[in-house]
Amino acid sequence: MTSSISRRLVIWLAVPLMVLALCGALVHYLNNIAPGVLDSDRRLREASNALMARMLTGEGRVTLDANPNGRDELPSPDSVRYAVRSPQGRLLLGDPRIPFVAMNSANAQLFAMAQVDGRSLRTLTTRFDTRAGVMLITVADVRANTARAARYGFMSTLLWDFVELDITLVLVWVGIQLGLRPVKKLRDEIAERSPLDLRPIVESSIPRELAPVVVTLNRLFDMLRTSVQSQQQFIANTAHQLRTPITGMQAQLALLAAEADAQPIRDRLLTLQEGVRQLAHSANQLLTLARADPAANIAAKNQPVDLNAIVGEVVARFFDRALQAGIDLGVEAVPVSIHADPSLLDDLLSNLVDNALKYTAAGGSVTAMAGRHNGKPFLAVEDTGPGIPESERQRVRQRFYRLPNSPGHGSGLGLAIVDEIARLYGASMIIATGAKGVGTKVLIQFP
What's the pLDDT tens digit per position in 347-399?
888 888 888 888 888 888 888 888 888 888 888 888 888 878 777 777 777 76
Calculate helix-pair angle for 266-292, 342-359, nearest 10 degrees.
140
State how beta strands 119-130 and 337-340 pair.
Answer: unpaired
User: Please, what sign has the CA dihedral across residues 430, 433, 434, 439?
Assistant: positive
Q: What is the mean pLDDT of the chain?
A: 77
* Residue 296 pLDDT grade (very low, low, confident, very high; cuts 50, 70, 90): low
Distance, CA of 356 to CA of 366 (rounded, Å):
7
Mean pLDDT of all residues in 315-331: 86
Closest CA to 415 of 343, 340, 356: 356
Q: What is the pTM of this model?
A: 0.47
Higher-pLDDT residue of 64, 402? 64
Q: Give percent of the chain above pLDDT 70.
A: 77
What pLDDT, on the 0 to 100 scale, is given for residue 281? 67
Decide: 121 and 128 in contact? Cβ < 8 Å.
Answer: no
Edge-to-edge strands, sheet with 365-373? 328-333, 365-373, 376-383, 440-445, 428-433
Closest CA to 352 of 427, 249, 272, 242: 427
| ∠ CA 23-28-32, rounded to 5° | 145
Domains and CATH numbers, the chain: 5-149 (3.30.450), 301-445 (3.30.565.10)
Collapsed DSSP state (helix, strand, coil) of residue 223: helix
Calculate helix-pair angle for 5-54, 146-179, nearest 10 degrees.
160
pLDDT, tens digit, 9 for 90 and up, residues 136-185: 888 888 875 555 665 666 677 777 777 887 888 888 888 877 777 888 88
Mean pLDDT of all residues in 63-77: 69
